[in-house]
Amino acid sequence: MTALTRQKQWRTALRVFAESRDAAGTDKQMYKAAMKAWSCGHSWQQVIGLLAEEQATLGGDQGLDDALGALCEASSSLLKVTGSKARSSSSALAASRLLADMRKRKLPPAARLYNQAIAAHARVGDLDQALELIRQMREEGLPPTPQMYRSCLRAFQAARHWEQALMLLQEVSPDDAASFEEGIFACSGSGRWQLATELLNEMQARDLPVKGVTYATLVTACVRAKQWRSALYFLHEMERTGADKSEKNKVILYGAVITTFNWQRALWMLREMPAREVLPNVITYGAVASVCNRARKYLYSMELHEEMQQKELHPDIPSFKLAVGACRGRLQELLKAQPQKGGRQKLL
Q: Residue 71's domain is classified under what CATH number? A: 1.25.40.10
- Interatomic CA distance for residues 170 and 158, integer angstroms: 19
- Interatomic CA distance for residues 196 and 222, integer angstroms: 10
Which of 142, 160, 178 terminates a domain? The answer is 142
Helices (H), ranges, 9-63: 10-24, 28-40, 44-58
251 CB neighbour count, 10 Å cutoff: 18
Which of 142, 173, 207 terminates a domain? The answer is 142
- Interatomic CA distance for residues 323 and 10, integer angstroms: 68
pLDDT at 7: 44
Q: List all residues 6 or more positions away from 85 whose beta carbon is below 8 Å from its beta carbon.
A: 124
In 3D, which of 113, 109, 104 has the Cα closest to residue 140? 109
Query: Does residue 268 lie in a domain region?
Result: yes
Query: Does residue 309 lie in a domain region?
Result: yes
Lowest mean pLDDT among 110-114, 205-209, 248-252: 110-114
Q: What is the DSSP letter of 286?
A: H
Burial class from Cβ neighbours inside 10 Å (0-12, 13-18, 19+) for residue 146 reads: middle
Query: Does residue 191 lie in a domain region?
Result: no
Cβ-contact 216, 244 below 8 angstroms: yes
| Higher per-residue pLDDT: 75 or 346 | 75
pLDDT, mean over the chain: 78
Domain total of the chain? 2
Query: Does residue 124 lie in a domain region?
Result: yes
The CB-side HSE value for 203 (13 A sphere, CA atoms) comes to 22
pLDDT at 239: 93
pLDDT at 275: 92
Whole-number CA gyration radius for the chain: 31
Give pTM, 2 decimals: 0.68
272 in the same domain as 138: no
Query: Does residue 175 lie in a domain region?
Result: no
Query: Does residue 15 lie in a domain region?
Result: yes
Query: Does residue 206 lie in a domain region?
Result: no
State which residues form the domain around 54. Answer: 1-142
Query: Does residue 116 lie in a domain region?
Result: yes
| Higher per-residue pLDDT: 16 or 261 | 261
pLDDT in tens, 180-212: 999 999 999 999 999 999 999 999 999 999 999
Which of 125, 142, 159 terminates a domain? The answer is 142
